Structures are given as structure tokens and as C-alpha cells.
Amino acid sequence: MNKFASTSRPFRSVPVHSLGISQILAYGPLFYGFAQFKQPLGLQYQLSELYILTALSLTVGAQACLAPIYGYFADRYSALWVMCFGFFAGAIGLGLLAVGSSVTGLLASFGCIGIAMGCATYELAFSSAVQLDEKNARINISYITFYGALASSITWLVTGPLLAQFGLVKTLWLMIIALCVAGVRMGMLAHLYRPARHASSFSFARFRWSDLQLSEKKAMLLLALAGGFEYLAFGAAAMMWISWFTSLYQDLAIAVMLASIYGPFQLFGRMAEMYFGKMFDARLTGAVASSFVPLAMMLAWIDNLYISALAMALFGMGHGVLTVTLGFVTNLYFRAEIYGRAKGWVSLPRSMGLAMGPLAGGFVFAHFGNNFLMIIMGCFLISCLCIWALLLQPPTNQIHIKSRT
């Protein structure tokens, strides 16, 4: 029995859309918003924009090391409570950012934001979906990632006018209110769908490496490698697409247009996974999608506008499906009671890769120029091979094995 399932309400009444919307609020003010916050923050703190972004990258990277701890608390007390804490930590971080003026205050605020990113974003939202309805976790994770894909667009469309109308401090306070509302909502859901029995040393499922089956150990290693290399390369490529296409076509407008193709096709990939993915093994759809990404890198090398557009469409679709794959496939091997801890260890290299990606991309592009895509493609190929190798590791979670038979 899943100890996190409510004894009074069926899962169909669980607002999965609330978890999805929470990802817009988590990634928006706490990550994407800094694309527009960096300039006014630089003026407020008398620091360069590069310093602001570097501090953000370092704090996001540092919080990745805490992922196993977040997973432990998710398993012991429910992921919804961890998300609740995360949103309030994010509100405190933005509050410190709004009232501060010293470097110490800036770093303290980013520390809170880093903790919030670890507690309130995808990994904990996925854990919530698994804990609340393990059997239907795949489709629910698809819904959550669909909302998450809108975070950057919505944030950038809203933040710009707010900054122009109200300025930095008032804009931050509006976002603080939004984060507090999300925190209250997660707390209400955590109370509503509280565990059917209280966690204790007796009921708390044990999770030790020595107790795992060989297939589970291999799956953890493969997922960790796949996620680490995928998000390292993704972070590098996403930040450098405009620079690459500008160097290829000598036209910034064309470069921006091509780079923008990625977003809509990422949504398309997640919609395809949402509606058709249930017909196929999640590992297989992930393996096929992972093959799209290095193929996209090869096509982006070609000096042809239409082929470049096709490359960005494949890149978007591939990564869109992979987000669902890397979120759900862990549950094929680890049941809900230990999913949080398993996902915490698996997601550690993914989070570090995402944090290091932008800096790595800038370094590789600056020093290797035309070989940039080949180097990034190598990272994607390693991730692709790891995901294909998962097909050789039979699932061990009886809930999903029974649902397939």
C-alpha cells in the first residue's frame, strides 16, 4: 500500500494542474526571471550582470548536492510538504533580494533561492505525482512538464511590463506574493492528502545500495549518467544557439528566429508523450527521443536555413520527451516509498549539469569555435547510449509490471 495515498479521496480529485502551475511559479521568479532581473539588480548592488548570473549559477549548482536530502524528506514526510517549504524559502530569498544592497545580502538571498529550486521544482513535483497515484504517474508527470515548458515564455512576457510599470522592488514583491500563495496551496494539498499512516522508524521504507537488485543499481547509474550529460549539453546548447546561428548566418534576427523554434516543439514533444506515450514503453520513447537530439546537432552544422529550422524542431521535440522520461522511468525500478531518495541521487548529476551548462557552453564556444556542436553532440551521444542501455534492464516495480501485463 502506498502510505502517501489519502484514505478519504480518490486521486482523480487531486489537482495535478496545481502541481503543473506550481512549476511555472517555481521556475519563473526563481530562475527565468533573472534574465530580466540581472540589469536592475546590477544597478541596485553596484555589480556587473555577469557577477549576478555567476552567483545564481553557483547557488543552483550548490543546491544540487542537497538533492538526496530533499529526496529523503520527500519519502519520510511527503513531497508536497517539501514543496511547501521550498516556495516559502523562495519568497524569503526574493524578499532579501528586494531589501538588500550588500554582496553578503545578495549571496544570502541566492542561497535561499538555491534551496527553493531544489525543493519546489520538477524533482519534487514528480515525487508528488508518484506518491499520490503511482499507477498513473507517467501521464501526470507529462501534464506537469507541459506546464513547466510554459514557464519561460510566461515569465518573460509578464516580467518586462511589470518592471517597466513598477520597478524592480515592487515586481519582486508581487512575485513573493505569488510564491507564498503557491506555498499555501502545496501545504493545503499536503494536509488534504496526508499519509494514511504516520511515517516512523517502523513504517519508513529502508533504502540502501546493498539492498538493491543488480538491475536497479544499473538503472540508477544509467539514469544518473544520462541526466548529467543530457542537461550539461542542453544547458550549454540552449545558451549558445543564438551565438552559433549568428556566426553561421551573420544575421542576429535569423539567429533569434531559429533559436525560438525550440520552445514550441518542446511543447509538441510533451503533448505527443502525453497522448501517445502510454502506447509504448517509456524507456523506448525516451530512447527514440534521445536519438533526435544528437541528430539535431549534426543538422545544425549545415549552412541551410530550412535544415537549421528542422534541427531546432528535432532538438525541441527530443528534449521535451526526455524531460518526461527522466522524470518517470525511475519509478519503473523504485516504488513510491523510496522513489524520492532514488530520484534524489539520480538527479544530483542532472542538476549539477544544468548549472554548469551555460558556463561550459560559453567556454567551449569561445575556445573551440566551429567544433562547438561536435563537442556538445558527444555529450548528447553518451546520454543517448545510456538511455538505450536502460532497455536491457528489466523494470522491478511490481505496480508497473502488473499494469503492463
Mean of all residue pLDDT scores within the chain: 86
User: Three cell numbers at 30?
Assistant: 526563481
Q: Is it true that domain 11-192 has CATH number 3.30.450.40?
A: no
Residue pair 315/283 in contact by the 8 Å Cβ criterion: no
Which residues fall within 8 angstroms of residue 153, CB to CB, at 6 or more apart? Answer: 263
Q: Give the whole-angstrom CA distance, residue 220 versus residue 224.
A: 6
Residue 73, pLDDT score: 93
For residue 367, pLDDT beyond 90: no
Which residues fall within 8 angstroms of residue 23, CB to CB, at 6 or more apart? Answer: 121, 122, 125, 144, 145, 147, 148, 151
Q: Give the whole-angstrom CA distance, residue 231 versus residue 293.
A: 12
Residue 26, pLDDT score: 93
| Domain ranges (residues) in the chain | 11-192, 209-397
For residue 238, pLDDT beyond 90: no
pTM of the model: 0.78
Residue 198, pLDDT score: 42
Task: Over range 360-364, report the average pLDDT.
Answer: 81
Q: Which residue has the cell 544528437?
A: 294
For residue 24, pLDDT beyond 80: yes
Q: How confident is the model at residue 148 (pLDDT cuts 50, 70, 90)?
A: confident
Superfamily of domain 209-397 in CATH is: MFS general substrate transporter like domains (1.20.1250.20)
352 or 404: which carries more pLDDT confidence? 352
Q: How confident is the model at residue 12 (pLDDT cuts 50, 70, 90)?
A: very low
Task: Over range 373-380, report the average pLDDT.
Answer: 92
For residue 7, pLDDT beyond 70: no
Q: Give the whole-angstrom CA distance, residue 262 versus residue 244.
A: 14
274 or 215: which carries more pLDDT confidence? 215
For residue 6, pLDDT beyond 70: no
Task: Over range 53-59, report the average pLDDT.
Answer: 77
For residue 392, pLDDT beyond 60: yes
The type of residue at 147 is: Y
Examine domains 11-192 and 209-397 and report if their fold is the same.
Answer: yes
Residue 9, pLDDT score: 46
Task: Over range 18-34, report the average pLDDT.
Answer: 90
